Amino acid sequence: MEEDIKISIIVPCYNEEDVLSEFYAAVKDVMENRMKLDEYEVFFVNDGSTDATGTLLRGFHEKDIHVQYLSFSRNFGKESAMYAGLLYTKGDYTVIMDADLQHPPEVISDMYREISSGQYDMIATRRKNRKTDTKMRASLSHMFYGFMNRISGINMENDAMDFRMFNQKAKNAILSITEYNRFSKGIFEWIGFRTQWLEIEINDRRAGKSKWSFRGLFAYSLEGCIAFSTLPLSLASIMGCLCCFAGFAMIIAMVVQALATGVEGSGYATIVCMILLMGGIQLFCVGILGQYLAKTYLESKNRPKFLVQETSKEIVMERRAFSSDGTGQNQSYIR
């Protein structure tokens, strides 16, 4: 059965009990009635949900051989969930989509048509509308991607989404990037390959709440900047040069003034201002260094990206060897 799967649909879910049944029914309908396809699997990655998500998934799996699931030991984040999904599925084509029905399941049939033509390795989607986002989130996101594209050297689209279909080549390329601090939007662009873009209408979340807080989005954006650019590190050198230049100019100005008019006052205020300015710049630069150091520290610890609590599907050996230390032994975690 495993060998025959044409499409694997990976669905990261975190506390999605309100929407999961509707999602499952909608995807099943598209696969079996619209696409008339039986060789598919829906692979739910339960990202440490604390509600009834795990129980629902077990129920789906018991009734339907097309449903597989994996539960993490705690919440590791959507990035880890997507990575785990890619690792555990073997379909000819792989789809990643959200569980909240914001990504319309019927688009999978368009993706399948495009990718099976053999002209593309990845079918990506960009949203036509941002009506489901608040104005604030939409404009911050626009600013962030503008900034990222300037500093990272890769072109990330503001409206691009994680809702994508990959062939084996593109999927293996993504899996070959094993870093701990993952920023998939960047990774999908970084790997290249022949990509076809589809513009789609995004629905409102059908039930439940978005898992992203302002703080979470900010931390994720920072992750993206650090993962895909080292330019902020150069900022320290640039500011250092500017300060040296300003200091040098001030010395010349003071010497000229002293020669022309004689030394005036104690200069106390100027000194305090300069100390504050220089101290501020130095701390700011040390802070940037600290961010990179922290990420390097986390990478060097080489911790697993997720830990498995329970799964309906044993991972296949070659993938395990491919992704971890190569021993292929009975590991309950994947690096």
The smaller minimum CB distance to ligand UDP, of residues 99 and 285, is found at: 99
Residues 172-211 that bind ligand UDP (CB under 6 A): 205, 210-211
User: Pick from 298, 297, 249: which is nearest to 274 by CA?
Assistant: 249
Q: Can you give the three-state secondary structure of 83-127, one letter per residue?
A: HHHHHHCCCCEEEECCCCCCCCCCHHHHHHHHHCCCCCCEEEEEE
Interface mask toward Mg ion for 205-224; x: CB under 5 A:
x-------------------
Identified binder of ligand UDP from the candidate list 10, 16, 44, 144, rule CB under 6 A: 16
Identified binder of ligand UDP from the candidate list 7, 10, 14, 225, rule CB under 6 A: 14
The smaller minimum CB distance to Mg ion, of residues 104 and 328, is found at: 104
Residues 94-153 that bind Mg ion (CB under 5 A): 98, 100, 102
Q: What is the rounded distance in angstroms from the CA atom of residue 24 to the CA atom of residue 32?
A: 12
DSSP symbol at 43: E
Identified binder of ligand UDP from the candidate list 8, 94, 102, 311, rule CB under 6 A: 102
Interface mask toward ligand UDP for 55-94; x: CB under 6 A:
--------------------x-xx--x-------------
Q: 3-class SS at 216?
A: helix
Residue 9, strand partner residues: 42, 95
Residues 130-149 that bind ligand UDP (CB under 6 A): none
Q: What is the rounded distance in angstroms from the CA atom of residue 228 to the CA atom of residue 185?
A: 10
Query: Do 180 and 298 meet the contact criterion of CB atoms below 8 Å apart?
Result: yes
The smaller minimum CB distance to ligand UDP, of residues 36 and 135, is found at: 135
User: Pick from 10, 154, 159: which is nearest to 90 by CA?
Assistant: 10
Contact segment (CB under 5 A) with Mg ion among 120-128, 200-208, 230-238, 303-311 equals 200-208
Is 223 a residue that touches ligand UDP (CB under 6 A)? no
Q: What is the rounded distance in angstroms from the CA atom of residue 127 to the CA atom of residue 147?
A: 20
Residue ranges binding ligand UDP (CB under 6 A): 12-14, 16, 47, 75, 77-78, 81, 98-100, 102, 205, 210-212
